[in-house]
Amino acid sequence: MKNLSKEIIAISLILIIIAMSACQTNTTQIQNKKNELTIENQVKATNFQTQEEYQQFIKNTVETNSYYGMIGGLARTFDSPIMVADTMMMEKTAASIESTIGSSNDFSQTNVQVQGIDEGDIIKTDGEYIYTITDKTLFIIKAYPGEDSKIISTIKLKNRPTGLFIENNKLAIFGNIDYNNIYAEAKIRIRNGMTFIELYDISNKNNPELEKTYKFEGNYLESRIIGGEIFLLTNTYPEQRIIQPMPIIMEDDSAIQVKPTDIEYFNINYQNPMLVGINKLNIKNNELDQTKMVAVEGQPTIYMSQNNIYLAHREYINEWDLRQQITQKIMEPELPEYYKLLISKLENADTDILSPSEKRQKISELYSEYLYAMNESKIEEIQEETELKLQEKIKELKYLEYTVINKVNIENKIKTEANNKIPGTLNNQFSMDEYKDVLRIATTSRERYIQEIEATQKIAADAIMPRMPSWNSETKNNVYTLDENLKIIGRIEGLAKGESIFSTRFMEDKLYMVTFRQTDPFFVIDLSNPKNPKNLGELKIPGFSRYLHPYDKNTIIGIGRDATQTGRTQGLKISLFDVTDTANPKEIAKYVSNQKYSSTSAEWEHKAFLFNKQKELLVIPAYNYNYQDQSENYNGALVFKITKDDIELRGLIDHSEGTSNNWSPRVERSLFIENELYTKSPYLLRINDLEDLSKIKNIKLETKNEGPIPIY
């Protein structure tokens, strides 16, 4: 390194520091001891008390500040008066999802995670009618019997809906607003979009009547309905505004602002704050009962039980940012007073002028400038001290990633009740489950440890740029149990080292979990004693399952991919796991596609999975695209006969009609009414007989004439 010129050394370090200054997302400030990512430092929720407090929070956390709501230097105002949201509550009814059945026919419902809690989806049925969305059109179809099926009415929407709910003679349609004139009409300028929900009376299916419309600042995130109460969740990036400083809700044409006391935040170092809005609406009387907003970090994973909503977001440590902070701390005593004065001015600059990230960038440039002026030996000394302290810090932190969990009670008034953080990250919503007031969570974590570099490697590295520490990161998988206050009461750590969780399914006091790197370890975890969870047994087979679904108490269906012995992914695989002997789980049956490029959207979208034990029925969207041998290509829904010990492919319901797109799935959902199977792709609803899969009828879902010029 001594043979290198001073300029090369300095430039290398400058480039490193500048690069590190750009890595600001989701970092943890090591100077702020109380907020470090450790299990000991608990997360606590606080309500904003005033608009000024909320605005100051935005100033201190949001990376770019712009005054939206200001046009040409003049503030834009509402025509309608600005009101503070009234968060009156309605008592929860005792009705369950099953009470929404409007027909005596046997029919399937949306495949959901928690029984009794329906999830918003693009298709619903009441056993006689089907309600489904394509583009900006909702179709109401007289569906049963299939031979007489027809579209009886449509609802044309200005915006693209994401999902719907039906309950008796009520229909709710919701999604993101992409109709830009909404802002001009309402005299609102909102940077981060809005979510709409429209509530209809469908007593007359031929002529649905719109009764109420709500619009919420932010993009659609998730939705649930339980006992006639819709929980519509939105996600918005907070922005600073002089006029209408609080998040906006619109009821029909009236605008209101969310009260500061209805927004909660936590004692964490926000770098990418997002406001999750939990909006509770009564579908029976069209009333907005309450809105609550929670400031989380990034886009959260949502899980809802009968009484609680859990918002889980990821916090991770950016090692480059740690290195930058350590380097600057080491250099600080060396800085001349002039540099210290400039840095102090930058730190104290109003965030209206410079955002937090802009401040950090400019401060980094000053440190880089002074570093360039140092001699070679001093640069080398700073580098060595930085490296040693960084190693100490990483060892102290142990984990690089955490999941922060926020428990929001929804029984009466929506309120955050508990918070905590656990090592690792979640795979998806199925990584969380509440059972008998115990929250169970499965995570994949990375432990970072330092590897020694051999002398020859050090020399080679130094010849290119200043030496960096060599890290090695190993994944492991964990299961935690938390009490009603989210305190950890039990744990298993270190499962399947070097692998990651691909799927989980909690079933009462058991957890079934699949990890993968080269083979598919299928784990059976006993959670009957939450304080002492146990790994009962595991099975290693090629491939992996991305979605697990109970066939019965002792049998699990797995949907995923086959793989070679070296872990190379192959085509579609469906497995039946027998867990009667929990110490020795077995794969008792499987279906493996002959087409190595075959896949199904049911791997990542559980609502696309249709299963009925009594009918011995399993239906999943499936497609295969092989550009070298297109004779293998197909696109539709695969129908299986599935029993406790066998999986048999019956056939394909083809949906390639009218499209040449075979490289992505066409079928979105499937359902049955009595002995008829309904499969939906964007522009086609096919009806087939469940006995022999013969065609009954095709219904085209045409969405033309939506633009200013009719298209034929």
Q: Are 312 and 432 in contact (CB under 8 A)?
A: yes
Cα gap 431→478, rounded to integer Å: 11
| Side chain identity at residue 290, one-letter code | Q
- For 58, the token pair is 């935005």
Residue 650: other Cβ atoms inside 10 A: 17
What is the structure's pLDDT at 692? 97
- For 165, the token pair is 């709910």
Q: Are strands 254-257 and 83-84 parallel, antiparallel or unpaired?
A: parallel
- For 388, the token pair is 């040693």
Cα gap 335→342, rounded to integer Å: 11
What is the structure's pLDDT at 708? 60
**How confident is the model over 452-461, as pLDDT tens digits?**
444 334 434 4
Spans in the chain with pLDDT lower than 50: 1-40, 65-101, 452-469
Distance of CA 83 to the CA centre of its chain: 32
Name residue 482's beta-bridge partners: 439, 488
Any idea which residue has 């929070």 for tokens? Answer: 57
What is the structure's pLDDT at 710? 58
Q: Any idea what the Cα angle at residue 335 is, between residues 330 and 336, rounded to 5°?
A: 165
Question: What SS3 class is residue 598?
Answer: coil
What is the structure's pLDDT at 102? 58
Q: Is 211 exposed, middle or buried (0-12, 13-18, 19+ CB in 10 A)?
A: middle
Q: Are 453 and 476 in contact (CB under 8 A)?
A: no
Residue 485: other Cβ atoms inside 10 A: 11
Q: E strands within 126-272? A: 129-134, 137-142, 150-156, 160-167, 170-176, 194-201, 209-217, 219-226, 229-236, 248-251, 254-257, 263-266
Mean pLDDT (the chain, rounded): 83
Cα gap 246→542, rounded to integer Å: 53
What is the structure's pLDDT at 299? 86
Q: Are 475 and 497 in contact (CB under 8 A)?
A: yes
Q: What share of the chain is helix, strand, coil (3-state, %, to 5)?
A: 20, 45, 40
**How confident is the model over 159-185, as pLDDT tens digits?**
999 999 999 999 999 999 987 666 666
C-alpha gyration radius of the chain: 28
What is the structure's pLDDT at 568? 78
Per domain, the residue ranges of the chain are 6-31+318-397, 70-299, 593-702
Specify the length of the chain in residues. Answer: 712
What is the structure's pLDDT at 317? 78
Tell me the pTM.
Answer: 0.84
H and E: helices and strands count for the chain: 8, 44
What is the structure's pLDDT at 292? 96
